A = this chain, B = another copy of it.
Amino acid sequence: MTTSTTPRERLLEAAGELFYRDGMGVGVDALCKAAGVSKKSMYQLFRSKDEVIAESLAGLGPAYQAALLPDTDADLSPRERILTVFERQDRLTAEGSLLGCPFVSAAVELKDPDHPGSVVARRFKQHLTDFFQTQLMAAEADDPETLAVQLTIVFDGTSARAVVRAQALAGIGPVTASALLDAAGVK
């Protein structure tokens, strides 16, 4: 399943896949087996399963962002940059390579906002809101802070819909984000 070389990398990669696919309840035994690493080695590398959860979530972050966010040098308006996120969410969900936001899922499953995994989840959700806000400021929107939060809400609600219905989203994310951008006069 992996081309990573060190036990640490293999553990984090397996954890990222297994926790997202099967939930945070995946046990240390199954995790170590999937990674091809002994439990003893795991506990030499990480203090606890909670630390593996947090680090594997943090490890998912860059690829998740790269999959959703437009290239920084893409020739797009701020509005188009924002809508790219929703179009990609729609496409990745239809392709079956995204089923819900891994950070929201982690926070929902961990239940504890102080869990190190929940802290990582909060940080990455804030990255998305910050991205929207930066674009909205560039577009000179009236209240970029509030609208950035609203767009994050649309993103996460659309993710929830994908999970609950287990169907393609059929463009509802871009349509809803566009409605909010239109309402705010972001052209």
Q: How many A residues have CB within 8 A of the partner chain?
A: 45
Tallying the copies of this chain within the complex gives: 2
Q: Out of B105, B158, B179, which one reaches A108, CB within 8 Å? A: B105
Q: Are B164 and A125 in contact (CB-based, < 8 A)?
A: yes
Q: Out of B166, B173, B183, which one reaches A179, CB within 8 Å? A: B183
Instruction: Give per-residue flags for A6-34: 1 if the beta carbon is below 8 A from chain B beta carbons, else 0.
Output: 00000000000000011111000000000
A68 part of interface (Cβ distance < 8 Å): no
Q: Out of B21, B111, B158, B164, which one reaches A157, CB within 8 Å? A: B158
- Interface residue SS majority, chain A: helix
Q: Are A161 and B156 in contact (CB-based, < 8 A)?
A: yes
A132 part of interface (Cβ distance < 8 Å): no
